[in-house]
Structure 1
Amino acid sequence: MRTLPNYEIFEAIPYKGSIAYVEDRHGNLVLIHEKEIVNEGFTHSLKVDGGYIYFVNSKHDRSADLYRYGKEVERLTDSMNDAKGDFIRPKVVSYDSNGLRIYALLYEKGDEDKGIVYIHGGPDWECVNSFNPEIQFFMERGFKVVCPNYRGSIGYGRKFNHLNDKDPGGGELLDVINSVKVLGVKKIAITGGSYGGYLTMTATTKFPDLWCSAVAVVPFVNWFTEKKLEREILQQYDEIKVGNDENLLRDRSPIFFIARIKTPLLLLAGENDPRCPAEETLQVVEELRKLGREVKYKIYKDEGHGFAKIENYVDSIKEAVEFISSHC
């Protein structure tokens, strides 16, 4: 992946004597051919066949569908069955975080009095302009939502992508915390999945007074057990990305600071998760119960890292939206 003056190339393919490519513009992955923008949103999986470019695209108001481009863009599938709604397009904002410029996607109508910090997973990923029903439901409940591309995210060059190496839950957490600046409201909830679930748990233990509610989806909370129980290839990744400094890993493991949590907390996990085992969620439940605290959690049977069954996916969104809405 090479870096342009402002943006990164996400994907490229030869087409009609030139190159068609997807350019990452702060999470808006646009298809470009002969210097013209062909399509916006989250564009990926380019293939050329029969004189057409075929690609998958999603954006704020439409779930992923198959498209093709020749002289114009044609949508070939309809994943939403013509469903329509007042879906809000995110805008790109930025803020200072300890001297570093951080970019984020902000969803707002303009009259919200409460907000949500929505943390992407990875950490080698980013906030993208794709259809996110959970965010849209949060907005219907009167929340504005910010999704920060904290240090370690992709889309901003190799140096930025490695700024969180050997510093899990450190500078990247401050980038998440500082994203509340762009919300400008007093009541703020926090949620995220996978690595975003880890940062959600870290935020509730390191900054316990900041949140009115929190939902951690398929999180991990203990670097020692996470590295022991996760899939082997992820163990290798963590050795490189996170390291094995035991003092650091303890300080950055939320499980050792559960007593600090003050906000209402919901945890959602998959029974057979190979990345963030359900045992990580159960550690939190056990510790909170030892402290005499109430905790709500749900472990979805026969699910892995995320919820593949549509009924579980829908239920997880309902659980998160209802929980945050009822506590903020």
Structure 2
Amino acid sequence: MKFPSSALLLFVLTGCATAQHTPPATRDSIEHRAQALRGVYSDHAPTLTHDGRRLVFTSTRSGLSQLYIADVDTPDVAPRQLLSWPEAVSGPLVTWDDTAVIFSADQGGDEQARFYRADMKTGQARCLTPEPLNRDAPLLPESASDQLFYSARTIDSAASAIYVASAVSPGPERKLYQSPGAGSLVDVNQDGTRGLFIRFLTHQNQELELVDLESGQARKLFPQQGNAAITYATFSPDGRALYVATDAGGEGAGVLALDARTGAELARYREQQPPTAAPEVVTVSRQGDVVVATFDAGDHTVMRVLDAHDLRPRSKVDLPLGVVEAGGFSDDGQSFALCTATAEHPCTLQLLSTRTGAIRPLRSEKQEALSSLPPIEASITPIESFDGLRIPTNVFRPKKQGRVPVILFLHGGPAGASKVGWNPSRRLFLSEGYAVVEPNIRGSGGFGRTYEAADDGPKRWDSFRDIEAVRAWAERQPWADAQRLIIMGGSYGGFLVLSEISRSPGKWRAAVDLFGIADFISFMATTKGGVRENYLHEIGDPEKDRDLLTRLSPINAADAIRTPLFVYTGANDPRVPLAQSRLIVDALKRRGVPVEFMVGANEGHGVARRENQVEMDTRVMRFLEAQLGSPPAAQSAASSHR
């Protein structure tokens, strides 16, 4: 399949490492395999209708995240696509009378989401909020079901506000509360008179505010002293209590029940498996008797079902090692919708019994492309760094004998984490005979406050030494071809890639930078809103810490780079602007270093459209083959016939 020229902007290629050196048959087979893997869809955001009969969710079945509806009792019947939208959609939020779905969509990945209301029967949709704003997920209180409440900000500012708009028809939105800084509205009570607002101070320090939505007055509820990371909070159905997902200022995470008037602690649950997990989401049933919470354990997710009164575990949830996405309760509180993904299977919809902890699938369609994939081995391995710190590392290998090239992948964030979940690009690499190593170097989230803060400011250099330790470990493995090491990463991970190939230019055969930061000084001058606010605290201030940011910036060491580099960026990326990628591409072009540049049209900070995903996967694979020789899978097949 060939894509129209409008799908992608032209790329720049210099040096001898050109994709056209790959034989045509190989090029076609790579594209075919990439298409097959990207055709494996994932389902997300499961929402049960209030009558309990239907399930509304988003899915990438069509190649772009869209809305679907299915009957709960017939998981083998194909779902109905509610509407065909030109952009990726998120949500959904089912109205209380089960007649409509409210969803969000931006334009070309610009992160200025608008809210739309789609009729559940016809799929006819209308825009409720036409003005461009960086909006968070909307909330629809039961006793004020004609109103949408949400937080938002302009795209170039971190200062957030709470708004209300009609949930029925287009109209003006009204500002109810203005925060002096970044933050988000996470819940409103049933009559829409009070809201819970998490105010962002730093990446490890947030405050929970109770906002009177009628007067616009706010007061701090938690923490009453000290610092705490807070990711989510929700009212009990009667509005008298709050449930807060937080680390309470300690190394691990849990759920606190607080008095909604005074903030006094009523009950506490602390996660112990592992004790360093980070808070994620907490949800309470409509009856107010059950709480479901998820925790970020760094390389995987854990889910707990708790009694709402004392926060003791109510039922055990057995989930495979992977990623769990919380959906929502059924109206009777007996069931909870969720998604699970593993290294070998994409995100699928499940239904949890809150009484027994048993899980059953909500969809049972088979994806034939999965059955044809070769087997893999996945493990989590701690790797000792220079100072004795153990770096949790996800290791994925083809299940075959012999030495294989290794891709070391670095996540974004900086306080993100690589998880043992479904990743079609990773699965393509494994199918082609590469091993993939994903270290969660110091600074990664989900491994405790101390670990997450271990790369802040001047300590950033220690995280670079973690990468060196993982690379040295990979070189020693009996299954690794130490002469064919590739480094790859996205966003902040892309910055790490550029930093590594400038600091250790002879260690890598090839590199892949996905929308990475090349120059922190110009990045901080052009990125906007909450992203800039986060980097100010975690990386440094361009005024106060200019020397540090200058030394960190790979563009200032670009003359040392000789590793062939593939660069991808989205044309509309509001987080790491396209100019960052162009800086490094132009610098390497001037020196004749092999570099290939791809810009995804109608894309933001990532790759949302299947045609762009296939094109990127195909071109990355061709690029690597041009640097490493024939495909690893082909080499293995040839050696097995000798």
Question: How many Å separate the matches in 2 of 1:133 and 1:228?
Answer: 34
Match of 1:231 among 519, 525, 528: 528
Contact persistence 1:212–1:327 (CA under 8 A): yes
Find 1:251's aligned residue among 534, 544, 551.
Answer: 551
Call closer, same or farther: CA 1:270–1:163 in 2, change over 3 Å.
same
SS of the residue corresponding to residue 249 of structure 1 reads helix
2:318 aligns with one of 34, 38, 41? 38
Q: Which moved more, 1:166-175 or 1:154-163?
A: 166-175
Pairing of 1:1-328 with structure 2 (within 5 A): 1-2=246-247, 3=252, 4-5=271-272, 6-7=274-275, 8=277, 9-14=279-284, 17=289, 19-33=291-305, 34=314, 36-40=316-320, 41-49=322-330, 50=332, 51-70=334-353, 71=356, 72-77=358-363, 81-84=367-370, 85-99=373-387, 100-108=389-397, 109=399, 111=401, 112-167=403-458, 169-183=460-474, 184=477, 185=480, 186=482, 187-244=484-541, 245-328=545-628
Deviations 1:183-217 (A, max 9, x none): 22312100011111111111110111110110101
Is the deviation greater in 110-119 or in 3-12?
A: 3-12
Letter matched to residue 88 of structure 1: I
Partner AA of 1:29 in structure 2: T
Please state which structure has a larger fraction of its residues in helix. Answer: 1
Report the aligned-residue RMSD: 2.2
Query: Aligned letter for 1:83?
Result: A
Contact 2:324–2:338 (CA under 8 A) maintained in structure 1: yes
Distance between the aligned counterparts of 1:89 and 1:11, measured in 2? 30
CA deviation map 1:98-153 (0-9, x unaligned) = 22111110002363332110111111211111111111111222221110001111
Larger mean Cα displacement after TM superposition, 313-322 or 98-107:
313-322
Change (3 A) 1:31 1:207: same
Task: Tell me how far apart the structure 1 counterparts of residues 565 and 366 of structure 2 sit (CA, whole Å).
Answer: 32
Assess if the C-alpha contact under 8 Å between 2:442 and 2:455 holds in 1. Answer: yes
* 8 Å Cα contact 2:498/2:518 also seen in 1: yes
Following the alignment from structure 1 to structure 2, what is the Cα–Cα distance between the partners of residues 273 and 18? 40
Q: How many residues align?
A: 328
How far apart are 1:236 and its partner, in Å?
1.6
**For the structure 1 residues 10 and 309, does the alpha-carbon distance in structure 2 shift closer, same or farther, using more than 3 Å as the test?**
same
Residues 12 and 238 from structure 1, CA distance in 2 versus in 1: closer, same or farther, beyond 3 angstroms? same
- Normalising by structure 2, report the TM-score: 0.48
Give a deviation string over 1:280-323, Cα, whole Å, max 9, x none.
Answer: 11111221222233321111122111111111122212222232
Deviations 1:202-260 (A, max 9, x none): 11101111101101011110001111111222222111111121111111100111111
Q: Aligned partners of 1:168 and 1:270: how far apart in 2?
A: 30
What is the SS of the residue equivalent to 1:211? coil
Tell me by how many angstroms 1:76 deviates: 2.0
Q: Structure 1 counterpart of 2:367, which letter?
A: N
Q: How far apart, CA to CA, are the structure 2 residues paired with 1:27 and 1:179?
A: 16
Unaligned runs of 5+ in 2: 1-245, 253-270, 306-313, 629-642
SS of equivalent residue, structure 1 residue 228? helix
Partner amino acid for 2:301? Answer: L
Structure 2 residue identity aligned to 1:206 = R
Distance 1:196 1:118, change over 3 A: same
* Equivalent pair of 2:564/2:593 in contact (CA under 8 Å): no
TM-fit CA distance, 1:89: 5.0
| Whole-angstrom distance in 2 between the partners of 1:263 and 1:195 | 19
The whole-number CA distance in structure 2 between the counterparts of 1:155 and 1:251 is 28
- 1:70-100 Cα deviation digits (max 9, x unpaired): 2532222468735323353521101111221
State the secondary structure of the residue aligned to 2:418.
Answer: coil
- Asked if 1 retains the 8 angstrom alpha-carbon contact of 2:562 and 2:593, the reply is no
4+ residue stretches of structure 1 with deviation over 6 A? none
**Could you tell me the TM-score, scaled by structure 1's length?**
0.92
Residues 65-74 or 90-99, more deviating: 65-74
Equivalent residue of 1:83, what SS? helix
Mean CA deviation greater in 158-167 or 109-118: 109-118
Partner SS, residue 318 of structure 2? strand
Q: Note the C-alpha offset of 1:324.
A: 2.0
CA contact (8 A) 1:61 1:89 kept: no
Give secondary structure in 1 for the equivalent of 2:376. Answer: coil
Mapped to 2, the partners of 1:247 and 1:221 lie a distance apart of: 15
Structure 1 pair 104/305, CA: closer, same or farther in 2 (3 Å)? same
Distance 1:303 1:208 in 2: 31
In 2: Cα distance, 1:221 partner to 1:169 partner: 16
In 2: Cα distance, 1:325 partner to 1:73 partner: 43
Overall identity of the aligned pairs, in % = 23
**Residues 141 and 303 (structure 1 numbering): CA distance in 2 closer, same or farther, change over 3 Å?**
same
CA contact (8 A) 2:510 2:564 kept: yes
